[in-house]
Amino acid sequence: MNMTAARIYNRDGVTLVELLTVIAIIGVLTALALSGVSHAKGRAQQIRCVSNIRQLGLALQQFNADYHVYPLNVNLHWSDGGEHATTWKTALEQAALSGRDPWALKRLGSNWWHTTVWHCPAIPLSGFTLGTKTSNTYYSFANYGYNAYGLRRWEDADSLGLGGHKGNRIPTNAVDSPYLDSPPVRESEVINPSEMMAIGDGFIGGNGVIVDTTDNRGRLQRTSGLQDIGGSTARSYLRHQGKANVVFCDGHVESPTLNFLFEDTSDDALVRWNRDHLPHRERLQP
């Protein structure tokens, strides 16, 4: 054996290059493992969310079967009682989910819709605050939303969705909101139930912006003139890997991409918002 071979054979340590190579390999394996864990967690959350959406869809179908109308998005005559309660959430909860009456739900406070099928497992229960030293606004995240308005701009007084015939615009000279006399949507008015979105992840989007915060009622809506709230668009794409879980009026569940829901201008994308199964492309204009 020559001296060079002996030196190679008998050395006890490792070179810096070898050490860095081992560290790099460990780093790659760790990143792959963390990515796998993150993907598995996200997949589990999406499965749970789909299950929640399906349960809400069944409750909506039960409500529809009982009353042959869809719940009003909001009902300011809630003190009169009846199936519509105060909001679509309360209506489904008392009529088809828990069976609790409005006063029992009121005694539970605001926590009843933070639990069970009303909470998307991919978002935190607590929200966030934005503002300045003198003015702060607290935002909570939207769990699930109702396709109450369909494809609709703020200036459109009528609604194409399921939550009633009128929109949420209050005329300048009006004393009362249009909510007060907005009749519910009849079962027969939904032209194609298998192509009409009903309830889904609570996103309001259009023209490159998605809002994931809530107005407490929860909406799934395509509109215009939105402003990103504290990075809401980026958060929305992270929630379910760029998708949203949606149940249709016939009860089946899909997970379309957010691009398809809020950016696609094809007829196939637009008709799913509207109960008359028409694209209403004129409402895409700001």
**Is the Cβ–Cβ distance between 68 and 183 less than 8 Å?**
no
pLDDT of residue 153: 87
Cα–Cα distance measured from residue 140 to residue 127, given in angstroms and rounded to the nearest whole number: 4
Cα–Cα distance measured from residue 17 to residue 108, given in angstroms and rounded to the nearest whole number: 63
Cα–Cα distance measured from residue 286 to residue 259, given in angstroms and rounded to the nearest whole number: 18
First and final C-alpha spacing in the chain: 83
Tens of each residue's pLDDT in the chain, 286 residues: 555 554 554 555 668 777 788 788 887 777 776 655 455 666 787 789 999 999 999 999 999 999 999 999 988 765 555 677 778 998 999 888 988 877 787 787 766 767 689 999 999 888 888 877 677 888 889 999 999 999 998 888 889 999 999 876 555 555 555 555 688 999 999 999 999 999 999 999 999 999 998 766 789 999 998 999 999 999 999 999 999 999 999 999 999 999 999 999 999 999 999 999 999 999 997 6
pLDDT of residue 188: 96
pLDDT of residue 109: 73
Cα–Cα distance measured from residue 248 to residue 150, given in angstroms and rounded to the nearest whole number: 13
Q: Residue 61 is encoded by which pair of tokens?
A: 């179908």
pLDDT of residue 37: 47
Give Cα separations from 151 to 47, 74, 106, 177, 232 (angstroms): 28, 18, 32, 20, 20
Domain residue limits, the chain: 13-284
Cα–Cα distance measured from residue 268 to residue 261, given in angstroms and rounded to the nearest whole number: 10
**Is the Cβ–Cβ distance between 196 and 272 less than 8 Å?**
yes
pLDDT of residue 84: 79
pLDDT of residue 43: 73
